[in-house]
Structure 1
Amino acid sequence: MKINQLMTVMLTGMVGLSALTANAQSDSTKVIKHKKINVSLSFGDKEDSVKKAEAPKGRFMGGITFTRLDLGFSRLIDNGSFSLSPKNKFLDYRGIKTSTVSFDVLYFGYRFNPKFKVYIAGGFDWTLIRLKNNITIQRNTPDLTYVEDPVNFSKNRFSSSYVHIPLNFEFRTKENDKGKRFYLVLGPEVSFLLNGMVKQISSERGKQKFRDDYDFQPVRVGGTVRIGYGGIGLFTKYYFNDMFDSVSQKGLKNMSFGITFGLN
């Protein structure tokens, strides 16, 4: 499926679900039940309340959401090593400023019982690599190439953005006296490339942005594990296929880890 078609499907779903949730109040969640299907507009850990009895029967659920916000760090793995090989040394990056951001905007699933549910989601994912070297990654090339620049970049960021579709298996404990519970969420994920971007800032050239696919994988496959308590947790993601669709970068993969907000 092409990206524009995928986005059309997602937007159509959002419009349809918006119609179902048009009467949502200003509080965090409004639940509409019809024929045992639970549709909600949610922001964070508000799917169930400690004041609400645990439902023993299974039920469908879905809706527009802003949950599972992942903020963390990204790392490149060069054929099993965190050290880049000579052919990939031009991608040397500043670890503390190389980050990832992702979140879900749609979900649909089935809760089998109060402790287990399965759901598929849709959202967006960014990987932001802060390059150390004064180089410019080239656009419209058959392979990932670069040129060295005679300027000193105060920022030289190389990034990718994807639409991601995770399939999550969620296990959770019973609520405690504070209305909190522990979570374990894991599952595979497929992502579709939107675009790549180089953003540079220098005194000589000012601020510049260049967009291209930059040989990023058009389809990325990975897996995610999250553990948490209440609405906050930790996550790690690993992508099984190569980061770039180029011969020279064969075996170069990426992973990320950090904090998750809005577990539910």
Structure 2
Amino acid sequence: MKRLIFTLIAAGFTTALFAQNNADSVFTTTTTITTTTTAKGTVTDTVIRKKRKLKFSFSTENRDTVYKEASKHPGWSFTPTFSRVDIGFATLVDNGSFTLSPENEFLRYRSWKSSNFGFDLLELGYRFNSSFKIYASAGFDWTRFRLRENVTPLRFQDQLTYSVDDIDYDKNVFSSTYLRLPLSFYWRSKNDNAGHRFHIVAGPIFGLLIDGHVRQKSLENGDQHFRAGFNLAKVRYGGFLRAGYGGIGFFAKYYANDMFEDSPAQKGLKNFSFGATVGF
């Protein structure tokens, strides 16, 4: 998963970088002089040939370049897509605080190793003009927390329950997979002198639980996987924001309902994620 995430980031940022390069066609001239000796004297023929070369350059300076403004007519659209690729950090908010309460201490996680990753695959929208559009989309969203404690969340319990293990786990990951369903209100500016736009997208977001997953790696038990039955919310809802320039920006997603169902000790424990996004 880490390799996939970093590969997608590198591809997205490389594409966005090269999209800002300027390509100029230039011509060079080659002069060929031919001398012919005849009975009447010496004749010199001069032939000038033009060779076309393609020159690539990158500059942040303003240039008097004319770009064709993309114009979109109002109307409906339905299309498959691969966009809004989010890669960032996952965070728990415990009743408004980033510090976990004693009841939730067993979920302490390593911040730099807890991540959120997602993307959209389908889009249905209505464009009002070249700058404003409303669309609903569907995709997938993965959230993973790298737990610090040597605990195991138990499956198929009345409420979220865990066991404290006498094992020093090399890796203890608690993750969830959701089908994500955002409703987006999208605005973009006109092209600037560099031919790029500013983008702002915001709206409500919904999620349908696909799977919960615990992965543990230890010397004693090797690599273990446990799926489903962790009292995760079957439906989640919240809001999101994306903003950026060109094809790169940042995102933030906050889910207003509790992360777990039927678990009084985890009441008020919510999910928040933020990071970089590629593709608007």
TM range (shorter): 0.7 to 0.9
**What TM-score comes out, normalization by structure 1 length?**
0.79
**What TM-score comes out, normalization by structure 2 length?**
0.75
State the SS of the aligned residue for 1:185.
strand
Question: Hey, which bits of structure 1, 4+ residues long, moved more than 4 A?
Answer: 50-53
Could you say which residue in structure 2 is the equivalent of 1:260?
277
Could you say which residue in structure 2 is the equivalent of 1:94?
110
Give the superposition deviation at 1:254. Answer: 1.2
Give the superposition deviation at 1:54. Answer: 3.4
Residue 165 of structure 1 pairs with residue 181 of structure 2: yes
State the SS of the aligned residue for 1:67.
strand
Give the superposition deviation at 1:248. Answer: 1.4
State the SS of the aligned residue for 2:143.
strand
Residue 214 of structure 1 pairs with residue 225 of structure 2: no
Could you say which residue in structure 1 is the equivalent of 2:258?
242
Q: Deviations over 1:35-65 (max 9, x none)?
A: xxxxxxxx99x9xxx9654336312222111
Q: Deviations over 1:87-140 (max 9, x none)?
A: 110001101111101100000101111110000000001110110001111011
State the SS of the aligned residue for 1:227.
strand
Give the superposition deviation at 1:192. Answer: 0.4
Instruction: Give runs of aligned pairs for residues 129-208 of structure 1, distance below 5 A.
Output: 129-208=145-224
What amino acid does structure 1 have at the position aligned with 2:107? L
Residue 63 of structure 1 pairs with residue 79 of structure 2: yes
Q: CA RMSD in A?
A: 1.7
Residue 112 of structure 1 pairs with residue 128 of structure 2: yes
**Structure 2: distance between partners of 1:54 and 1:147:** 58
State the SS of the aligned residue for 1:113.
coil
What amino acid does structure 2 have at the position aligned with 1:59? G
State the SS of the aligned residue for 1:248.
helix
Could you say which residue in structure 2 is the equivalent of 1:233?
249
Change (3 A) 1:56 1:132: closer
Bigger radius of gyration: 2
Q: Deviations over 1:187-241 (max 9, x none)?
A: 0011100110000111111101000131110000011101100111000000010
Could you say which residue in structure 2 is the equivalent of 1:28?
none
What amino acid does structure 2 have at the position aligned with 1:235? F
What amino acid does structure 2 have at the position aligned with 1:261? V
**Structure 2: distance between partners of 1:136 and 1:86:** 17
**Structure 2: distance between partners of 1:51 and 1:240:** 43
| Unmatched 5+ stretches in structure 1 | 1-42
**Structure 1: distance between partners of 2:221 and 2:101:** 30
Count of residues in Structure 1 that have an aligned counterpart in Structure 2 = 217
What amino acid does structure 1 have at the position aligned with 2:226? F
| Unmatched 5+ stretches in structure 2 | 1-14, 20-65
**Structure 1: distance between partners of 2:94 and 2:219:** 33
**Structure 1: distance between partners of 2:72 and 2:235:** 39
Contact 2:156 2:231 in 1 (8 A): no
Change (3 A) 1:213 1:232: farther
Could you say which residue in structure 1 is the equivalent of 2:142?
126
**Structure 2: distance between partners of 1:117 and 1:63:** 14
